[in-house]
Chain A
Amino acid sequence: KNEVEQSPQNLTAQEGEFITINCSYSVGISALHWLQQHPGGGIVSLFMLSSGKKKHGRLIATINIQEKHSSLHITASHPRDSAVYICAVRSASGAGSYQLTFGKGTKLSVIP
Chain B
Amino acid sequence: DTGVSQNPRHKITKRGQNVTFRCDPISEHNRLYWYRQTLGQGPEFLTYFQNEAQLEKSRLLSDRFSAERPKGSFSTLEIQRTEQGDSAMYLCASSFNLLGQGDGYTFGSGTRLTVV
Contact A45 B101 (CB under 8 A): no
SS of B interface (majority):
strand
A99 to B107, CA, bound (A): 13
CB-CB under 8 A from A33, the residues of chain B are 105
Size class of the contact patch on chain A: 20 to 34
| CB 8 Å contact bits of B85-116 with A (1 = contact, 0 = none) | 00001010101001011111111111010000
Interface positions, chain A 72-112, Cβ under 8 Å from B, are 86, 88, 90, 96, 98-105
A54 to B18, CA, bound (A): 44
Contact B107 A102 (CB under 8 A): no
Residues of B at the A interface (CB closer than 8 Å) are 31, 33, 35, 37, 40-45, 48, 50, 55-56, 89, 91, 93, 95, 98, 100-110, 112
